[in-house]
Amino acid sequence: MIVVVAPGQGSQTPGFLAPWVEDPAAKHHLERLGEAAGLDLVELGTTADADTIRRTDVAQPLIVAAGLVALTALDRPVKAVAGHSVGEITAAVAAGVLDEEAGMRLIAVRGRAMAEAAASRPTGMAAVVGGDEAVVLARLEELGLVPANFNGGGQIVAAGDLPGIEALAAEPPAKTRVVPLQVAGAFHSPVMRPAVDALRDFAAALAPKDPSARLWTNADGSEVKDGTRFLELLVGQVASPVRWDRTMESFSAAGITGLIELAPAGTLTGLAKRALKGVPAVAVKTPADLAAAQDLIDRTA
């Protein structure tokens, strides 16, 4: 079983969509997705600077659109899918829970709502790599921080007020390395509760369908077969931890034989190499990576 995965915020870099829009069909696709989100995604994905695409209201639609463009270019049926954080909306579209327009409208609302929540006070996030989980969690509690992402492979992402993030980086837990993340706020923490309310109001008008492919949630790593339930979990998860560790455990239990990460790829394949040892993984960063991904699917069809 090949699982297609979609990355979360922070995976974008300036100009990362430039190789994709060289294909007129992909460029037109990105333009249509941008119209649904109310953004010029072609410009943002090719010429905008790092500060611009770091903005939450820009980064989130850009990441989802990149994944959808890569998914279309992959040109293979998707039988199993999951997304990390904002990538869950990419996954929802890939599994047929939402159509592309609804997905892009939803992510535009999500990005704006989370940006507004983040602006309420200075907050941030940092990845804690290595160490003993109990020791790491105790240090976060001591600093008034919360675990926002359990990424597996020995990585936990902390979220909270900036002084706490700075103190964590200055005095990390034993045997760990702390990497501050280039995000605008404490995502997947109680700081985001106002965004949940805004997103829930918008999502209430959508008409989700049950997934046509196997689909896992970040909430607890379980497989979800009801589209309405998946949308509910996706909304609530804005202010609760991402359990990517449990999602990967579910992949393993389901008999995963390969993993393909959609653009802007790299983060999730890196985690898979540590947590899903021996499972071949392809990061589709540019169109040049499509052939390897297609070959992986074709060999296991």
Burial class (CB in 10 A: 0-12, 13-18, 19+), 97: buried
Contacts of 172 (CB under 8 A, 6+ apart): 128, 131, 139, 178
48 touches 59 (CB < 8 A) = no
Which listed residue (188, 189, 240, 250) is catalytic? 188
Beta pairing partners, 156: 128, 150
For this structure, is 188 an active site residue?
Answer: yes
List the alpha helices (DSSP H) in the chain: 24-37, 41-46, 50-54, 56-74, 87-94, 100-118, 133-142, 162-170, 193-203, 227-236, 244-253, 267-275, 290-300
User: Mutual orientation of helices 56-74 and 87-94 as an angle, nearest 10°?
Assistant: 30
Q: Measured between alpha carbons, how far is 137 from 178 in angstroms, rounded to an integer?
A: 13
Which listed residue (11, 85, 189, 240) is catalytic? 85
Q: Is the dihedral of CA 260, 261, 262, 263 positive or negative?
A: negative
For this structure, is 29 an active site residue?
Answer: no
Residues carrying an active site annotation: 85, 188
